[in-house]
Amino acid sequence: MYHKILDKVGQLNTPCYCYDLRLLRSTLNAINHEIEGFPFVVHYAVKANANPVILKEIKQAGLGVDLVSGNEIKTAVAAGFGPELMAFAGVGKSDWEIEAGLESGIYCFNVESEQELEVINDIAAQRGMTAGVALRVNPDIDAHTHRYITTGTAANKFGIDLPMLDRVLDRAMEMSNIHLRGLHFHIGSQIMSIQPFELLCNRINSLLQHYEDKGIIFEMIDAGGGLGVDYEHPEENKIAGFHEFFDVFKRCLNVRAGQKVHFELGRSIVAQCGVLLSRVLFVKESSVKHFVILDAGMTDLLRPALYGSHHKIVNLTSRESELVTYDVVGPICESSDVFAHDEQLPVTQRGDLVAILSAGAYGESMASTYNMRSLPQSVFFE
Ligand code: LLP
């Protein structure tokens, strides 16, 4: 995509997000290829990137959506997703968001506490409606990822603790305006090994058996998302390890007849198709460092500042072969506004164009207007 960006560069205002729609389509095809013939339903986690052009591609590929706010519900409806493919998750849903979910007729609320279940039942009863529900279980599995994006251990705020599940499930079964569809799990994000997913399957299997012994068979299981992407070698590994990921569930999960397994993938669908394009404003030196100062900052891509995560950086315009070690930083008045420490780049000058790779997920969607900056624009390449 780089040469296409450079062809169009006169028309681009930086910083901006550039998306490779061909790569997005290949990624979606890879997913559809893996799930074909299996009772699997893939929802796209809209929080990763809610850009309408991206959503249109995802809808065309036939995926559903995983939503976490009333505004995401509205966005998904506007993008044409059908309610039967919508799940609404989140540990704190406001009443108006629950109403928005009911009005849209969404397939499933992923419910995280007994109190939330009661509130949904009440709001549904007031409207003479029934809410489809999956109980989000905290499976107490450590996904060995960044502490800010691990979700499935008992110390996290997410899900219903295993020892309390029986009680909440009994309550759900007796509520007149709740239709219990199944159980929901999500153990974390940017998970690079399959072992946590194997542990998750084992946990799900024992829960399915436990409830089957009580005469309960769920219509669905939602295994969440979390498949990681290669931030260090994005050009070599453009498409995430969907084969290995789905293979775990094909091998390890004891799916009952007629039961569907849902997934909620965000990052692995959109991360690699997006780069953040930025222009070098200044190059400066201190007694110990060389700095490249970009016009993009943590307001455009928060991940490095928030999680200390590293995205590969490419200078698209330098013709130099000599490499220099730079700290690549943004213009925001925060010391954490650093994209990379000690990054090796060819000799870089004011005016050079730089691409920060693997920025399609949790990039544009986490952008802010801090320092009264403008939100980054987006452009698309076929
Ligand atoms: N399902 C649930 C319930 C989730 O909380 C999430 C992500 C997903 C699915 C999608 O997970 P994925 O497939 O994208 O890993 N901003 C962070 C990531 C936060 C993830 C939040 N939940 C980052 O930039 O790394």
> What is the DSSP secondary structure assignment for residue 375, as one 8-state letter?
P
Question: Ligand 1 within 6 A of 108 CB?
Answer: no
Contact 311, 338 (CB under 8 A): no
Ligand 1 atom with least separation from CA of 191: 15
pLDDT of residue 152: 55
Averaged pLDDT for residues 263-267: 98
Q: Nearest CA to 263 among 225, 218, 226?
A: 225
Q: Which residues contact 307 (CB under 8 A, 6 or more apart)?
A: 146, 148, 149
pLDDT the model gives residue 111: 97
pLDDT score, position 140: 86
Report, as an integer, the average pLDDT of 12-39. Answer: 97
Please say if the pLDDT value at position 345 is more than 90: yes
Strands (E), 286-334: 290-294, 313-315, 323-329
pLDDT at 213 over 70: yes
Say which residue the tokens 């108006």 belong to.
Answer: 96
pLDDT on residue 37: 97
Is residue 186 lining ligand 1, measured as CB closer than 6 Å? Answer: yes
- Residues 4 and 48: their CA atoms lie apart, in Å, by 25
233: CA distance to ligand 1 center in Å?
21
Q: How far apart are the first and last CA of the chain?
A: 9
Burial class of 274 by CB neighbour count within 10 A (0 to 12, 13 to 18, 19+): buried
C-alpha–C-alpha distance, residues 23 and 269, integer Å: 10
What percentage of the chain exceeds 70 in pLDDT?
97
Is 21-271 the same fold as 7-11+272-381? no
Going by pLDDT thresholds of 50, 70 and 90, the confidence category of residue 142 is: confident
Return the half-sphere exposure (C-beta side, CA atoms, 13 A cut-off) of residue 366.
17
Atom of ligand 1 nearest to the CA of 189: 15
Pocket residue to mutate for ligand 1, from 42, 43, 47, most atoms within 8 A of Cβ: 47
Mean pLDDT of 137-152: 71
Given phi > 0 = left and psi -120 to 50 = alpha, else beta, which region is 101? alpha
Classify 205 as helix, strand or coil.
helix
Q: What does the alpha-carbon distance between residue 252 and residue 162 come to, in Å, rounded to a whole number?
A: 21
Query: Quick check: CB of 66 below 6 Å from ligand 1?
Result: yes
67 alpha carbon to ligand 1 midpoint, in Å? 11
Burial of 258 (0-12, 13-18, 19+ CB in 10 A): exposed
Ligand 1 within 6 A of CB of 297: no
pLDDT, tens only, 145-198: 666 555 656 667 789 999 999 999 999 999 999 999 999 999 999 999 999 999
* Token pair belonging to 251: 């091998």
Q: Give, in words, the CATH class of 21-271.
A: alpha beta
Tens of pLDDT, residues 68-98:
999 999 999 999 999 999 999 999 999 999 9
pLDDT of residue 146: 61
Q: Does the pLDDT of residue 58 top 60, yes or no?
A: yes
Enter the pTM of the model: 0.96
Give 21 Cα–ligand 1 centroid separation in angstroms: 22
* Three-class DSSP category at 123: helix
Does CATH number 2.60.40.1180 belong to domain 7-11+272-381? no
Q: Name the pLDDT band for 287 (thresholds 50, 70, 90).
A: very high
Q: How confident is the model at residue 130 (pLDDT cuts 50, 70, 90)?
A: very high
Q: Would the CB of 190 count as within 6 Å of ligand 1? A: yes
Which residue is closest in CA terms to ligand 1's atom 16?
362
Segment 294-337, tens digit of pLDDT:
999 999 999 999 999 999 999 999 999 999 999 999 999 999 99
Q: Give the span between the Cα atoms of 352 and 345, in whole angstroms.
A: 12
- Per-residue pLDDT for 382 more than 80? yes
pLDDT at 13: 93
Domain ranges of the chain: 7-11+272-381, 21-271
Q: For the chain, what is the mean pLDDT?
A: 95
Strand 160-161 versus strand 353-356 pairing type: unpaired
| Percentage of residues of the chain with pLDDT beyond 90 | 91
**Sign, CA torsion 301/307/312/314:** positive
User: Other C-beta atoms within 10 Å of 51: how many?
Assistant: 20
Report how far apart, in Å, the C-alpha atoms of 90 and of each of 93, 105, 140, 156, 210 are: 6, 17, 18, 13, 26
- The DSSP annotation for 39-53 comes to SEEEEEEGGG---HH
Identify the pLDDT of residue 10: 82
Quote the radius of gyration of the chain (alpha carbons, Å): 22
Q: Is 267 in the pocket of ligand 1 (CB under 6 A)?
A: yes
Q: What pLDDT does 2 receive?
A: 85
